[in-house]
Amino acid sequence: MKTAELIDHVASEAGVDRNAAKKAVDAVISGIVHAAKKGEEVTLPGFGKFKVKDSPARTGRNPSTGEAIDIAASRKLAFSAAKQVKDALAG
């Protein structure tokens, strides 16, 4: 599902026009990104958790040459699905 499809789905389910649904979807995404920038965890009960994970710097290998390379530390946004979502996906 692409963003436009999600916006259409929100508009039809909530009974609002497409512009209001777009603002709502954009606000939710913006809120998650803003919280992630601050290192906060976002919990959506019944859906899951978004949290920032720090990956430390490490040494890796170039797969084509075998040469050792330095991989910089990074921050990643991880998602953990709630039990309801896992159960829905399982069938």
Same domain, 36 and 50: no
Give the integer Cα–Cα distance in Å for 11 and 42: 24
Over residues 41-67, the mean pLDDT reads 95
Has residue 27 got a pLDDT over 90? yes
Q: What is the pTM of this model?
A: 0.78
Structural element, H or E, at residue 49: strand 48-55
Over residues 9-17, the mean pLDDT reads 95
Amino acid 91: pLDDT: 79
Same domain, 21 and 49: no
Same domain, 9 and 26: yes
Same domain, 46 and 90: yes
